[in-house]
Amino acid sequence: MSAGQSTTPPPATAVSPEAEALFRKTWAPRTGLGRLSAVNNSIIGRRFIATGFVFFLIGGLLSLFMRTQLLFPENDFLSEELYNQFFTMHGTTMMFLFAVPIMEAFGIYLIPSMIGTRDLSFPRLGAFGYWCYLFGGILLYSSAIFGAMPDGGWFMYLPLTDKQFSPGINQDFWLLGVTFVEISSISGAIELIVSILKTRAPGMTLNRMPIFAWYMLAVSFMILIGFPPLILGSILLESQRAFGIPFFEIAAGGDPLLWQHLFWIFGHPEVYIIFLPAAGLVGAMLPAFARHTLVGYNLIVLAVVGTAFLSFGLWVHHMYATGISRFALAFFAGASLAVSVPSGVQVFSWIATLWRGKPVMRTPLLFILGFIITFVIGGLTGVMVAIVPFDLQVHDSYFVVAHFHYVLIGGMVFPLFAALIYYLPRATGRMLSERLGKWHFWLFFIGFNLTFFPMHLTGLLGMPRRVATYPAGLGWDTLNLISTIGSYTLTAGILVFLFNVIWHVKRGRPAGVNPWDSPDLEWSSVTPVPPFNTRSIPHITGRDPLWAQPDLARQIRDAEGYLPTAEEGKREILATSTVGAKPEHVTRLPHPTFKPILAALATATIFSGILVSMYWLALVGLVIFVVILYLWLWGELPEKETKPVGNGLELPIAVGDQHTPAWMGTLTLLLADLALFVSLVYSYFYLWTTADSWPPVSYEPALSESAIIFGGLLVVLVLATAVAHAGAYLSSRLLALVGLTATAACLVALLILGFQAYDQLPFDITSHAYGAVLSAMGVYVLVHTCLSMGSALFALARVSVTGITRTRSLSVRILSMLSYYTAFTGVVAFILIYGSANMMG
Residues contributing to the site for other proteins (CB under 8 A): 203, 205-208, 298-299, 301-302, 305-306, 308-310, 312-313, 325-328, 330-331, 333-335, 337-338, 341-342, 578-580, 685-686, 688-690, 840-841
- 142 exposure class (CB count in 10 Å sphere: 0-12, 13-18, 19+): middle
CB 98 within 8 A of CB 55: yes
Residue 820 C-beta: closest distance to other proteins, Å: 22
Nearest of 426, 606, 572 to residue 504 by alpha carbon:
426
Residue 315 C-beta: closest distance to other proteins, Å: 11
Question: What is the phi/psi pair of residue 464, to 5°?
Answer: -75, 155
Nearer to other proteins, 41 or 683 (CB): 683
CB 458 within 8 A of CB 398: yes
Nearer to other proteins, 257 or 457 (CB): 257
Nearer to other proteins, 647 or 690 (CB): 690
Nearer to other proteins, 308 or 610 (CB): 308
Question: What 3-state class would DSSP assign to 653?
Answer: strand
Residue type, 469: T
Nearer to other proteins, 338 or 708 (CB): 338
Question: What 3-state class would DSSP assign to 824?
Answer: helix
Residue 330 C-beta: closest distance to other proteins, Å: 3
How many CB atoms neighbour CB 670 within 10 A? 18
What Cα–Cα distance (Å) separates residue 797 from each residue in 305, 633, 803, 836? 42, 12, 9, 40
**Residue 638 DSSP label:** P
Nearer to other proteins, 325 or 698 (CB): 325
CB 322 within 8 A of CB 260: yes
CA 26, CA 591: separation in Å to the nearest integer?
8
Residue 529 C-beta: closest distance to other proteins, Å: 29
- 759 exposure class (CB count in 10 Å sphere: 0-12, 13-18, 19+): exposed
Nearer to other proteins, 748 or 839 (CB): 839
Question: What 3-state class would DSSP assign to 808?
Answer: strand
Nearer to other proteins, 140 or 521 (CB): 521
How many CB atoms neighbour CB 650 within 10 A? 11
Residue 276 C-beta: closest distance to other proteins, Å: 15
Nearer to other proteins, 276 or 436 (CB): 276
Nearer to other proteins, 379 or 515 (CB): 379
CA 673, CA 332: separation in Å to the nearest integer?
26
Question: What 3-state class would DSSP assign to 117?
Answer: coil
CA 331, CA 339: separation in Å to the nearest integer?
13
700: enclosing H helix or E strand: none
Residue 693 C-beta: closest distance to other proteins, Å: 12
**Residue 98 DSSP label:** I
First to last CA, the chain: 73
Nearer to other proteins, 205 or 393 (CB): 205
Residue 327 C-beta: closest distance to other proteins, Å: 5
Residues comprising the chain, all counted:
841
Question: What 3-state class would DSSP assign to 617?
Answer: helix
Residue 207 C-beta: closest distance to other proteins, Å: 4
Residue 838 C-beta: closest distance to other proteins, Å: 13
Residue 201 C-beta: closest distance to other proteins, Å: 13
CA 78, CA 242: separation in Å to the nearest integer?
31
161: enclosing H helix or E strand: none
Residue 599 C-beta: closest distance to other proteins, Å: 34
Complete DSSP assignment for 720-772: HHHHHHHHHHTT-HHHHHHHHHHHHHHHHHHHHHHHHHHHTSS--TTT-HHHH
Nearer to other proteins, 209 or 230 (CB): 209
Convert 399-464 into a string of H (helix), E (strand) and C (coil).
HHHHHHHHHHHHHHHHHHHHHHHHHHHHHHCECCCHHHHHHHHHHHHHHHHHHHHHHHHHHHCCCE
Residue 581 C-beta: closest distance to other proteins, Å: 9
Residue 214 C-beta: closest distance to other proteins, Å: 11
Nearer to other proteins, 82 or 338 (CB): 338
